[in-house]
Amino acid sequence: MRKNFWKGKNGPLLIAEIGGNHEGNFSYAKKLTKLAIKSGADVIKFQLYSGNGLVNPKVSPKRNKHFKKFELTKDQHLQLANLCARSGTQYNASIWDTNMIDWVDKYLKFYKIGSGDLTAYPIISEFARRGKPILLSTGLSDLSEIKKTINFIIKTNPKYKKKNMIAIMQCTSMYPTEDNDVNLSVIPELKKFFKYEIGFSDHSIGDLALLISYLKGANILEFHFTDTRKKKVFRDHFVSLTKDEVIKLIQNLKRTKKLLGNPKKKAIKSEIESGHLKSFRRAIYFNKNISKGDTIKKEDIACLRPNEGLDSRKANTIIGKKSPKVFKAFEKIKL
C-alpha cells in the first residue's frame, strides 16, 4: 500500500458519487461514468444493492419498490468497473448487499460504509474480515457511536489499527443539507479525536462546503455527480456537481492549496528578491540640516521609505544624542 492511500492526484481524494443518479438506466449510467472520468475525479462510485437485500418488502414496500427500480445487474456493474479501469480511474461502490461482495471485490481498493450502515455490525464484519481500507461515513451518529464502530472493526480485524486503514467522513444524512446543518467545524474535532484520515461527504448545494472542508483539514472529498440538474425529479441530482463544476472545483482546490502555503511565518523569496524589505519599510532621516554637535530632537527626524541608512527601529538610539557630524536634510544616516 502506498504511503498515503487516501491521497488524490490533485491533492485530496475526489470521489464522484453517481450512486443512484442513473435511476436504473444502464445507458445513462455509462454516460455519467464517462463524464465523471472526464471531470478528473479520482474515484467513480456507485451503490450496489438489491431491493430485497436492503429494505424489508413487508415493513416498507414503497422503499423496497424504489430500490428495485434503481437496481443495475451484475454484468452492468462489471462493465462500469471495466470502463473506469480502462481510463485509469478507480471504480468503487457502496455495497449494501453482502452477497455481492465476491464478484466485485477485485475492482475495489477500499470499502465504503455508508452512514446508514455505521451501526450494522453484521454487515461491517463482512468487510472488516477481508482487510481492505474502509471509508466510514458518519451521518446520523455521534463520537461515541463512531468510536464503538471503529473498535468493533479493530476487534474483527486488528489490521485496522493502522492509520491508513480507516478514513472517517463527516456527513449529514439530509438531501439537500441546509447550510446550518453541514457542521464543517466537526472536522477538526474528528482530527483531534481519531488518529485516522478525515474527509467530508457532501449533500449540500454547490461546492462551497467542499472547499471549506478542505480548509478545515478534510483530505477526502465525496460529492454526488450528474450531467445536469435541470428537469430532474430524483433528489440526489439536486445535490450533485456536473463535469464542468468538478473541473472548476479541482482548479479551486489547487489554488486553495497554493493560497494556504507554508505555515511558517517569514519573509518569502519573492518579497526578498523584489527589494520590498527596503522599498516598503522605513528608515530614519533628518528633516532639516543638522550641524555637528547639535542635540537631536524627536521633531528633527522623519520616518520615511526606503529603509536605507538608519533603520526606523533605531530611532531612540539617536534622539537626545549629539550629532557626530554634519547631515544634510534627507540624506542617508550612516553612523
CATH of residue 79's domain is: 3.20.20.70
End-to-end distance of the chain based on CA atoms, in angstroms?
Answer: 63
**What does the pLDDT read at residue 199?**
98
Instruction: State whether 120 and 180 are in the same domain.
Output: yes
Q: What is residue 1's predicted lDDT score, i.e. its pLDDT?
A: 40
Whether 190 and 238 share a structural domain: yes
Q: Which pLDDT score is estimated for 335?
A: 78
SS3 196: coil
pLDDT score at 3: 60
The Cα 242–Cα 262 span in angstroms is: 32
Same domain, 179 and 85: yes
Q: What 3-state class would DSSP assign to 40? A: coil
Residues 219 and 159 in one domain: yes
Q: Minimal CA–CA distance to 16: which of 35, 44, 39, 49?
A: 44
Stretches where the chain sits below pLDDT 50 are 1-2
In this structure, are 160 and 283 located in the same domain?
A: no
Containing domain of residue 310, as a range?
A: 269-317
Same domain, 130 and 67: yes
What's the pTM value of the predicted model, to 2 decimals? 0.91
* The predicted structure's pLDDT at residue 50: 85
Query: 281-303 burial, b for 16+ CB within 10 Å, e for fewer?
Result: ebbbbbeeebeeebebeeebbee
d(CA 133, CA 239): 27
